[in-house]
Amino acid sequence: MMGIVDSQKMTNDEVSYLIALFRNTREKTLELCKPLNRDDYMVQATSDTSPPKWHLGHTTWFFETFILEPYVTGYRRFDDNYRYLFNSYYETVGRFLPKSMRSTISRPSLEDVLEYRESVNSSVIELLQSVNGEILDEVKSRVILGINHEQQHQELLLMDVKMNYSVSPYYPSYSSSAHSSSKEVVELEWIKFDESVESIGYDGPGFCFDNEKPRHNEIVPAFLIANRAVTNGEYIEFILDGGYERPELWLSEGWLERVRKGWEAPLYWEKEGKDFYYFTLSGRREVNPGEPVVHVSYYEADAYARWAKCRLPTESQWEHSMKNSKLEHQGNFLESNEFHPSVQSDSESAISGPGGVWEWTSSAYSPYPGFKPLSGSLGEYNGKFMSNQMVLRGASCVTPEGHSRLTYRNFYHHNDRWQFSGIRLIKG
């Protein structure tokens, strides 16, 4: 449906559809905030995370800055200070509050931010109902980008809430629906792919981010890929075999990071006697060995792969294999309301393909040949981050389902762990 809206002149029905999609996305963000108490909206546990109130303000700022200001004649900003407080990193838009200081925004109040959201919502809908001609195509493309941007922040919101809650000795629970499945994990198998030349990247009628283009050919070497992600039980074997104590398994910078941060297990894990426990969005509980391991850094994923005498896939190997095998099945997204990876089983709800955890690749985040960022300030959305980060593919249990494209390129720094990141191995 998104492809229809994105590729044709909008009829009245299509305008109605886009307005509904806009409203649903904005309401979904508020729905995700319902379990929070008032104090939760201000918490920022680390400089990597943001307070929920900032997410509510920033996603609204995006619509106001890139849609209302350029396309509504005489538009007056809701509050001039919001341009500074809720700008994330757009240098060409103006100054912005440093990320590490987002928890200092005691003003505006939560009520003010919610009023801001309602005001911008009304203005965007009014614009969609009244705009026509060539400007309509520009407005609709930016509204669709804004919707996808907010959906990305829905995932970030849950990532940040989990980090914020994890530092509390009360082990608060965000949702009682997050649970471990008792299904038996599917047996590990290896799927073979011969060397080939493959078309990589997005080339469809619907929406994608600029970093997914242009579609281009790559030589993909022969490889064997695992039919599922690495499980907690398999990762525990790595831990018990001294995986965190053996520098020969680690990249040099990874080993220094492990020592500096005192890593002994994935983020949110604790060991009590012989048992491992982890913090989840439903509180603290014993590690389920059948679930995919999650919250590991690139350094940990790479060390585990070396220990297992395997490698991490390149993003072209990952994309090629997911498009051309039984691994194409997906599930366990944000909409499941589980907020935790499920056991990869043989049942119909199994996640043998992408879904449940983002999967680290061995590919650096860099532009595809012929890459062109969006024009103007929106060109800062992705392109400026193509340095010193690694690509993850797939989707996670807190990813909106519409963001599960097999060409979708997620990216994080080598030492980041608070995203829902896991491991899939290849041989060859």
> Torsions phi, psi of 329, nearest 5?
-60, 140
Fold of 2-166: Four Helix Bundle (Hemerythrin (Met), subunit A) (1.20.120)
Q: How far is it, in rounded angstroms, from Cα 53 to Cα 113?
A: 7
pLDDT in tens, 359-392: 999 999 999 999 999 999 999 999 999 999 999 9
CB 175 within 8 A of CB 414: no
Q: How far is it, in rounded angstroms, from Cα 103 to Cα 99?
A: 9
CB 424 within 8 A of CB 229: yes
Q: How far is it, in rounded angstroms, from Cα 313 to Cα 298?
A: 12
Q: How many residues does the chain have?
A: 428
Token duo for residue 181 = 């499945």
Beta partners for residue 394, in sequence order = 358
Confidence of residue 179 (pLDDT cuts 50, 70, 90): low
List Cβ neighbours of 230 (8 Å cut-off, separation of 6 or more).
292, 293, 304, 308, 422, 423, 424, 425
Where are the CATH 3.90.1580.10 domain residues in the chain?
190-427
Eight-state DSSP code of residue 292: B
Angle at 403 between CA 122 and CA 187, to 5 degrees: 150
Where are the CATH 1.20.120 domain residues in the chain?
2-166
What integer best gives the mean pLDDT of the chain?
92
Angle at which helices 298-307 and 252-261 pack, to 10 degrees? 120
pLDDT in tens, 304-348: 999 999 999 999 999 999 988 765 555 589 998 999 998 887 654
Could you tell me which of 308, 263, 243 has the C-alpha nearest to residue 416?
263
Could you tell me which of 391, 395, 393, 392 has the C-alpha nearest to residue 365?
391
CB 189 within 8 A of CB 291: no
pLDDT in tens, 114-126: 999 999 999 999 9
Question: What is the dihedral angle through the alpha carbons of 76, 78, 83, 84, rounded to the nearest 10 degrees?
Answer: 140
Could you tell me which of 211, 389, 393 has the C-alpha nearest to residue 318?
393
Helices (H), 262-383: 298-307, 315-323
DSSP string for residues in 161-180: HHHHHHTSTT---S-TT---
Confidence of residue 185 (pLDDT cuts 50, 70, 90): confident
pLDDT in tens, 162-178: 999 999 999 999 998 75
Could you tell me which of 90, 63, 149, 158 has the C-alpha nearest to residue 385?
90
What does pTM read for this prediction? Answer: 0.94
List Cβ neighbours of 74 (8 Å cut-off, separation of 6 or more).
none
Widest CA span of the chain, in angstroms?
Answer: 68
Q: What is the mean pLDDT of residues 175-192?
A: 79
CATH classification code of 190-427: 3.90.1580.10
Confidence of residue 241 (pLDDT cuts 50, 70, 90): very high
Identify the residue with better confidence: 184 or 405.
Answer: 405
CB 210 within 8 A of CB 372: yes
